[in-house]
A = this chain, B = another copy of it.
């Protein structure tokens, strides 16, 4: 298996997106969507720049992936995201029927999971914790610099 096809490779790309957000003064969360072993969409949090609470990385990357595939549904895609999705993003992911979600760090305050996995589509596979330390470190650094 080529390194380029590994989950870690794709999560590194999601973290690269998160790092772009930090540089722009946005809470560093990044995401990529993969279809057939290729990244078809990438995005990072833009809520400050756009002054729009809906502009989370996951929302932007879902819209971009649907645009690329010309399909509302993403059953055969995987989302790699650097932080556990919030309720809004979990709801959007449900609507998309996305095949698989891999997130890095948990978000105990705003993550969707405390409301239950049933916020996601029953067919969506979930994995978490991949590169969680790297993602948490980036978030901590961002907030520490702003205190």
- A contacts, CB < 8 Å to B: 47-48, 51-54, 59, 62-63, 66-67, 70-73, 86-92, 94-96, 112, 115-116, 119
Q: Report how far A73 CA is from B51 CA in the complex, Å.
A: 9
Q: Which residue of B lies closest to A55 (CB)?
A: B63
9 nearest A-B residue pairs (beta carbon): A88-B91, A87-B91, A53-B95, A88-B92, A53-B96, A51-B72, A54-B92, A52-B66, A53-B72
Verify B91–A70 contact, CB threshold 8 A: no
- Residues of B close to A90: CB separation below 8 A: 87-88, 91
How far is the CB of A67 from the nearest CB of chain B, in Å?
7
Q: Report how far A133 CA is from B48 CA in the complex, Å.
A: 39
